[in-house]
Amino acid sequence: MNFFQAIFLGLVQALTEYLPVSSSAHIRIIGDLMIGSDPGAAFTAIIQIGTELAVILYYRRDIIRILGSWFGSLFGKEGKDWRSRLGAKNPDTQMGWFIIIGTMPILVAGLLFKDVIETTLRNLWITVTVLAVFGVLLWIFDARSKQVKTMNQMTVKDALLFGVGQMLALIPGVSRSGGTITFGRAMGYTREDAVRVSFLMAIPAVFGAGILEAVSAVKDVSACEATKAADACAAIGGAAWPGWGPTIAATIVAFFVGYIVIIGFLKFVSMFSYKAFAVYRIGLAVVVAVLLIAGVLPAIDPSMAG
């Protein structure tokens, strides 16, 4: 992967991260078409830091308010009893706890199944399947579910279900926003609030994963350059790894373009349904299936096949 290819993938990340179409699937598919290889989970996770920083910037006031209330209530500002500390008197404190609860499923699954996520689940036939399945589910739930619930009506059960939707996004093709939005619409949340929950709940999970992958990549890059060890080089994407310069540049592009996409996406969902995204997912699944059958795309990246 050269500098300009890395930048292009950063642009793809920004354009698809917030939409319910799976940014990881697009990076995987376009990476194969453009460079003949999976860009790798490390590169994908690191450039996601850029799009998550855009979310943090856009929702900075909400984040500061939630964090302030959460810490204040935790240390007894709202009352010394445990109910007050858990946010019984402050919706912002409750939201802080709900975000933590919603992060647990993806955190546990990510740690337990890290190797499977970075290898087996990156099979494009799996991607094709979940692209289509979740496209259909998004279409059905968005069309049939009422828009009656807001963030202020969230419960522990709802937060956990949002978290399960986010957890399923560990499978490339599900889409983190697609999973959480689909679950949110199935529970009757408005389109705007389902998106807002999706964005806020993603911050600790995606940003944390990106930081961990960056730390891991530093170690693997050092090991790869020093020893040319196959395991270390494969861990950072093998020949696809563009180096830190292009990766950081791609992350910066993802940040700036991502911020613009957030604004546009929120305006879109306030006026239209998710039908267009559902149709796009199904159409993309069909196209990729045809490319797989024709042999244009390999189902499994050759560097991971052995």
DSSP 288-305: HHHHHHHTSS-SS-HHHH
Question: Is position 213 within any domain?
Answer: no
Question: Is position 230 within any domain?
Answer: no
- Written as six digits, the tokens of 39 are 């860009």
Question: Which helix (DSSP H) or strand (DSSP E) does residue 83 occupy?
Answer: helix 82-85
- Say yes or no to pLDDT of 221 above 50: yes
Specify the pLDDT at position 306.
45
Structure confidence by residue, pLDDT tens digits, 133-162: 999 999 999 999 998 999 889 999 999 999
Closest CA to 125 of 280, 242, 290: 290
Structure confidence by residue, pLDDT tens digits, 36-69: 777 776 788 788 889 989 999 999 999 999 999 9
- Written as six digits, the tokens of 298 are 């390999």
Distances (CA, A) of 298 to 36, 122, 234, 306: 9, 11, 17, 14
Question: Is position 81 within any domain?
Answer: yes
Structure confidence by residue, pLDDT tens digits, 169-218: 889 889 889 999 999 999 999 999 999 999 999 888 877 777 777 777 76
Question: Is position 214 within any domain?
Answer: no
- Say yes or no to pLDDT of 225 above 70: no
* Residue appearing with tokens 């856009």: 58
Answer whether 242's CB lies under 8 Å from 10's CB.
no
Question: Is position 177 within any domain?
Answer: yes
**Domain residues for 134?**
3-208+237-304
Number of domains in the chain: 1
Question: Is position 191 within any domain?
Answer: yes
**Gap between the Cα atoms of 33 and 271, Å rounded:** 34
Radius of gyration (Cα) for the chain, nearest Å?
Answer: 20
* Residue appearing with tokens 């598919």: 29
- pTM of this structure: 0.85
Q: Which phi and psi angles does 40 have, rounded to 5°?
A: 95, 150
Q: Report CA 164 to chain centroid distance, whole Å.
A: 13
* 196-168-1 Cα angle (round to 5): 90
- Written as six digits, the tokens of 27 are 């990076």
- Written as six digits, the tokens of 65 are 């308010």
Give residues with Cβ within 8 angstroms of 264, minimum separation 6.
none
Question: Is position 223 within any domain?
Answer: no
Question: Is position 253 within any domain?
Answer: yes
**Gap between the Cα atoms of 41 and 35, Å rounded:** 15
